[in-house]
Amino acid sequence: MIPERYSRQIRYAHIGEKGQEKLLSSTVVIVGMGALGCVSANELVRAGVGHVRFVDRDLVELSNLQRQVLYTETDAAEAVPKVFAAAEYLKAVNSEVEIEPVFGDLNAGTIDALFSGADLIVDATDNLETRYLINEYCVEHQIPWVYGGAVGAEGMTAAFLPGGPCFCCFSGHAGVSGQTPGRTCSTVGVLNTLTATVASLQVTEALKILTGSDSVRKDPLYVELWDNDFYPIPMEKNPDCPVCVHHRYTYLGSVSGTQAVSVCGKNAYQIVPSARKSPDFQALSEKLSALGKVTLRSYYLEFESPSASFRLFKDGRAIISNADTEGRAKSVYSEYIGGL
């Protein structure tokens, strides 16, 4: 008997009962729970992917609500981590699949744990470094992944399969969306119809890959919704690709030392210390209250003073605000939190 929940999808001939069984036994990891991640998670959970894990390091803000469809005004007012808000919503939509929110950072040190057991990765990030890392990991471990990028009204998506051309073969192309420095959603904006379109295109390829279809789109697709441009960009394997041909990895395995990443569109840096220790919030807040205003929240400690402001999370990473340079962010971390 066809389960009622998935009946419309099972009646679609290219999925059928066999395809649905494959989806139910699949594990997908979504990296980033912004606009693309929200739409992808929503569609994958409703489609009955048996295990959906999502990873994100941010808290819900009011400016997210225009396009990040899983969050509410209450989530923004309470600055709830995106992954927890998304999990709560989606568990009410489909309680039959496993939903695993991970509040943290994807980097070379965490990728093994975060991608364990994955049949497919959905890229819903906003930066190129993370995509290169995902690409290297997926080439090495032969995991398919689906790329998506969206800025303004302009987007791009591509599916990368084991053995085929990889993101590194392709990303030399001048048209790759999201690559132009300074051109981000914060500076030039983004249409919510674009993020919904790009993420749905990603999920469609993901469903094909997971169900074993041979209709997976071979070439990356470029879309421009305002001026109505849709066209494929031919992609070929680079016979000298350092990643998928020579297996020389730049991002994977580069775990040593403290990492500092500029936060997209903000005058802020995320610091991930090399020694991952949970900070003692109680002791720190006593020490810091002599220097500025300390607020202890469920998921993080917030500190504000005229000379430094930051949010420190339970895994030891921190977002340092009003920091112009990586060096300044690291020195704030050392001075106020310590242990770098």
Question: Which residues make up the interface to Zn ion (CB under 5 A)?
Answer: 166, 168-169, 241, 243-244
Question: Between residues 99 and 169, which has the closer beta carbon with respect to Zn ion?
Answer: 169
Cβ neighbours for 33, distance < 8 A, ≥ 6 positions apart: 41, 54, 55, 56, 58, 68, 70, 82, 83, 86, 124
Tell me how far, at minimum, the Cβ of 244 lies from Zn ion, in Å.
3
Query: What six digits make up the tokens of 257?
Result: 């030392």
Tell me how far, at minimum, the Cβ of 167 lies from Zn ion, in Å.
7
Tell me how far apart the 2 most distant CA atoms of the chain are, in Å.
Answer: 66
Residue type, 199: A
Tell me how far, at minimum, the Cβ of 136 lies from Zn ion, in Å.
10
Tell me how far, at minimum, the Cβ of 233 lies from Zn ion, in Å.
15
Beta carbons of 90 and 82 less than 8 angstroms apart: no
Residue 272: name the closest of 179, 337, 325, 178 by CA: 337
**Integer Rg of the chain from CA:** 21
Question: Between residues 168 and 209, which has the closer beta carbon with respect to Zn ion?
Answer: 168
Question: Between residues 185 and 243, which has the closer beta carbon with respect to Zn ion?
Answer: 243
Tell me how far, at minimum, the Cβ of 149 lies from Zn ion, in Å.
18
Full strand arrangement of the beta sheet holding 98-103: 98-103, 51-56, 27-31, 120-123, 145-151, 154-160, 221-224, 229-232
Question: Between residues 229 and 236, which has the closer beta carbon with respect to Zn ion?
Answer: 236
Question: Between residues 106 and 169, which has the closer beta carbon with respect to Zn ion?
Answer: 169
Question: Between residues 70 and 243, which has the closer beta carbon with respect to Zn ion?
Answer: 243
Tell me how far, at minimum, the Cβ of 141 lies from Zn ion, in Å.
15
Cβ neighbours for 57, distance < 8 A, ≥ 6 positions apart: 103, 104, 105, 270, 313, 317
